[in-house]
Protein backbone atom coordinates (compact mmCIF):
# COMPACT_ATOMS: atom_id res chain seq x y z
CA UNK A 1 0.00 0.00 0.00
CA UNK A 2 1.50 3.38 -0.98
CA UNK A 3 1.83 5.96 1.81
CA UNK A 4 -0.26 9.13 1.81
CA UNK A 5 0.83 12.01 -0.38
CA UNK A 6 2.43 15.07 1.17
CA UNK A 7 0.11 18.07 1.59
CA UNK A 8 1.22 21.36 0.04
CA UNK A 9 0.28 23.31 3.18
CA UNK A 10 3.30 21.70 4.92
CA UNK A 11 5.81 22.96 2.32
CA UNK A 12 7.85 24.98 4.86
CA UNK A 13 8.83 21.74 6.62
CA UNK A 14 10.85 20.82 3.53
CA UNK A 15 12.96 23.94 3.92
CA UNK A 16 13.88 23.69 7.62
CA UNK A 17 17.35 24.70 8.81
CA UNK A 18 17.87 21.19 10.21
CA UNK A 19 17.07 19.61 6.84
CA UNK A 20 19.42 22.01 5.05
CA UNK A 21 22.14 21.02 7.49
CA UNK A 22 21.73 17.24 7.24
CA UNK A 23 20.73 17.17 3.55
CA UNK A 24 22.42 20.12 1.81
CA UNK A 25 20.91 20.08 -1.67
CA UNK A 26 23.73 21.43 -3.86
CA UNK A 27 26.53 19.33 -2.40
CA UNK A 28 24.31 16.22 -2.26
CA UNK A 29 23.46 16.53 -5.96
CA UNK A 30 27.09 17.15 -6.96
CA UNK A 31 28.31 14.28 -4.82
CA UNK A 32 25.90 11.94 -6.58
CA UNK A 33 26.95 12.98 -10.06
CA UNK A 34 24.77 15.87 -11.23
CA UNK A 35 26.83 17.96 -13.67
CA UNK A 36 26.62 21.07 -15.81
CA UNK A 37 24.91 20.43 -19.15
CA UNK A 38 22.63 17.63 -17.94
CA UNK A 39 18.86 17.60 -18.44
CA UNK A 40 17.42 16.92 -15.00
CA UNK A 41 13.98 15.99 -13.66
CA UNK A 42 12.91 16.24 -10.04
CA UNK A 43 9.94 13.94 -9.48
CA UNK A 44 7.80 15.18 -6.61
CA UNK A 45 9.62 18.50 -6.61
CA UNK A 46 7.73 19.83 -3.56
CA UNK A 47 8.98 23.28 -2.58
CA UNK A 48 11.81 23.15 -5.14
CA UNK A 49 14.34 22.15 -2.47
CA UNK A 50 16.36 20.05 -4.93
CA UNK A 51 14.90 21.40 -8.17
CA UNK A 52 16.23 24.96 -7.95
CA UNK A 53 19.83 23.98 -7.00
CA UNK A 54 19.69 21.24 -9.67
CA UNK A 55 18.65 23.77 -12.31
CA UNK A 56 21.55 26.02 -11.29
CA UNK A 57 24.08 23.17 -11.50
CA UNK A 58 22.74 22.03 -14.90
CA UNK A 59 22.92 25.57 -16.22
CA UNK A 60 21.85 27.34 -19.43
CA UNK A 61 20.70 25.30 -22.40
CA UNK A 62 19.37 22.45 -20.25
CA UNK A 63 15.88 21.56 -19.04
CA UNK A 64 15.22 21.15 -15.33
CA UNK A 65 11.77 19.58 -15.06
CA UNK A 66 9.98 20.00 -11.76
CA UNK A 67 7.25 17.36 -11.76
CA UNK A 68 4.57 17.31 -9.11
CA UNK A 69 1.12 15.83 -8.66
CA UNK A 70 0.01 18.92 -6.75
CA UNK A 71 -0.91 22.05 -8.67
CA UNK A 72 -0.80 23.98 -5.44
CA UNK A 73 2.84 23.09 -4.75
CA UNK A 74 3.87 23.91 -8.32
CA UNK A 75 2.42 27.41 -7.82
CA UNK A 76 4.63 27.78 -4.73
CA UNK A 77 7.75 26.94 -6.80
CA UNK A 78 6.63 29.26 -9.58
CA UNK A 79 6.47 32.21 -7.17
CA UNK A 80 10.09 31.64 -6.10
CA UNK A 81 13.08 33.09 -7.94
CA UNK A 82 14.27 30.28 -10.14
CA UNK A 83 16.57 29.89 -13.15
CA UNK A 84 15.00 30.08 -16.61
CA UNK A 85 15.72 26.40 -17.41
CA UNK A 86 13.12 25.30 -14.80
CA UNK A 87 10.03 23.77 -16.46
CA UNK A 88 7.13 22.89 -14.21
CA UNK A 89 5.16 19.78 -15.15
CA UNK A 90 1.87 18.88 -13.51
CA UNK A 91 1.18 15.15 -13.34
CA UNK A 92 -2.41 14.68 -12.25
CA UNK A 93 -2.15 10.95 -11.53
CA UNK A 94 1.54 10.98 -10.60
CA UNK A 95 2.35 8.13 -12.98
CA UNK A 96 2.55 9.90 -16.35
CA UNK A 97 4.76 12.89 -17.03
CA UNK A 98 4.58 15.19 -20.07
CA UNK A 99 8.29 14.69 -20.81
CA UNK A 100 9.64 13.01 -23.94
CA UNK A 101 10.98 9.46 -23.60
CA UNK A 102 14.75 9.03 -23.30
CA UNK A 103 15.60 12.73 -22.86
CA UNK A 104 16.67 13.12 -19.22
CA UNK A 105 20.25 12.56 -17.94
CA UNK A 106 19.57 12.76 -14.21
CA UNK A 107 16.42 12.10 -12.17
CA UNK A 108 15.88 13.00 -8.52
CA UNK A 109 13.18 11.25 -6.49
CA UNK A 110 13.46 12.53 -2.93
CA UNK A 111 10.95 11.58 -0.23
CA UNK A 112 8.48 10.56 -2.91
CA UNK A 113 8.83 6.86 -3.71
CA UNK A 114 7.22 5.77 -0.45
CA UNK A 115 4.13 7.92 -1.25
CA UNK A 116 3.44 5.86 -4.37
CA UNK A 117 3.19 2.47 -5.93
CA UNK A 118 6.98 2.32 -6.42
CA UNK A 119 7.05 -0.03 -9.44
CA UNK A 120 4.52 2.10 -11.34
CA UNK A 121 6.46 5.26 -10.54
CA UNK A 122 9.84 3.78 -11.52
CA UNK A 123 8.38 2.55 -14.82
CA UNK A 124 7.50 6.14 -15.78
CA UNK A 125 10.81 7.50 -14.45
CA UNK A 126 12.73 4.91 -16.48
CA UNK A 127 10.80 5.90 -19.62
CA UNK A 128 12.04 9.51 -19.50
CA UNK A 129 15.68 8.53 -18.76
CA UNK A 130 18.35 8.36 -21.47
CA UNK A 131 20.44 5.19 -21.64
CA UNK A 132 23.17 5.56 -19.03
CA UNK A 133 21.16 8.20 -17.09
CA UNK A 134 21.30 8.35 -13.30
CA UNK A 135 18.43 8.11 -10.82
CA UNK A 136 19.04 9.43 -7.30
CA UNK A 137 16.47 8.12 -4.82
CA UNK A 138 16.48 9.65 -1.36
CA UNK A 139 13.97 8.36 1.15
CA UNK A 140 13.20 7.98 4.84
CA UNK A 141 15.14 5.40 6.82
CA UNK A 142 13.02 2.73 8.44
CA UNK A 143 15.31 2.39 11.45
CA UNK A 144 14.91 5.93 12.77
CA UNK A 145 11.40 7.26 13.36
CA UNK A 146 11.84 10.61 15.11
CA UNK A 147 10.23 12.52 12.23
CA UNK A 148 8.49 11.74 8.95
CA UNK A 149 5.95 9.17 7.83
CA UNK A 150 4.95 6.15 9.93
CA UNK A 151 7.14 3.05 9.66
CA UNK A 152 4.51 1.08 7.73
CA UNK A 153 4.52 3.71 4.93
CA UNK A 154 8.32 3.67 4.52
CA UNK A 155 10.44 1.61 2.15
CA UNK A 156 13.80 0.37 3.40
CA UNK A 157 16.90 0.87 1.24
CA UNK A 158 16.91 -2.88 0.77
CA UNK A 159 13.33 -2.81 -0.59
CA UNK A 160 14.21 0.11 -2.89
CA UNK A 161 17.24 -1.73 -4.29
CA UNK A 162 14.97 -4.70 -5.05
CA UNK A 163 12.36 -2.49 -6.73
CA UNK A 164 15.09 -0.85 -8.86
CA UNK A 165 16.33 -4.23 -10.04
CA UNK A 166 12.74 -5.32 -10.76
CA UNK A 167 12.37 -2.11 -12.82
CA UNK A 168 15.53 -2.86 -14.89
CA UNK A 169 17.60 -0.17 -13.19
CA UNK A 170 21.12 -1.12 -12.10
CA UNK A 171 21.90 -0.12 -8.53
CA UNK A 172 25.34 1.53 -8.34
CA UNK A 173 25.35 2.98 -4.80
CA UNK A 174 23.38 2.72 -1.59
CA UNK A 175 24.20 4.46 1.69
CA UNK A 176 22.74 6.14 4.74
CA UNK A 177 23.15 9.91 4.36
CA UNK A 178 22.26 11.02 7.89
CA UNK A 179 19.98 9.90 10.76
CA UNK A 180 16.83 10.44 8.62
CA UNK A 181 17.52 9.58 5.01
CA UNK A 182 19.31 7.05 2.80
CA UNK A 183 20.28 7.33 -0.85
CA UNK A 184 20.08 4.69 -3.55
CA UNK A 185 21.63 5.50 -6.93
CA UNK A 186 20.66 3.53 -10.02
CA UNK A 187 21.46 3.69 -13.71
CA UNK A 188 19.45 2.87 -16.83
CA UNK A 189 21.63 0.40 -18.73
Measured from the CB of residue 132, what is the shortest distance to ligand SAM in angstroms?
23
Minimum CB distance to ligand SAM smaller for 94 or for 171: 94
SS3 109: strand
Nearest approach in angstroms of CB 73 to ligand SAM is: 4
User: Residue numbers of the site for ligand SAM (CB under 6 A)?
Assistant: 5-6, 14, 43-46, 49-50, 67-70, 73, 91, 94, 110-112, 115-116, 121
Contact 141, 113 (CB under 8 A): no
Q: Which is nearer to ligand SAM, 8 or 156 (CB)?
A: 8
Q: Closest distance between ligand SAM and the C-beta of residue 137, in Å?
A: 11
Sheet of strand 86-90, all strands in order from the earlier edge strand to the far edge:
86-90, 64-68, 40-43, 104-110, 129-140, 181-187, 170-176
Identify the DSSP state of 16: -
Q: H/E element holding 55?
A: helix 51-58
Question: Is the Cβ of residue 30 or residue 131 nearer to ligand SAM in the bound state?
Answer: 30
User: Which residue, 90 or 130, is less far from ligand SAM as judged by CB?
Assistant: 90
Q: Minimum CB separation from ligand SAM for residue 90, in Å? A: 9
Amino acid sequence: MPGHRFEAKHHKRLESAYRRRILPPTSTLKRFGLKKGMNVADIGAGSGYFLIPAARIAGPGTSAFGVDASDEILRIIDKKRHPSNVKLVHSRDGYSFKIESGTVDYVIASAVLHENHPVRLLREIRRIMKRGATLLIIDWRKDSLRAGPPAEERLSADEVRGICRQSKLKVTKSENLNPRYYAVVARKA
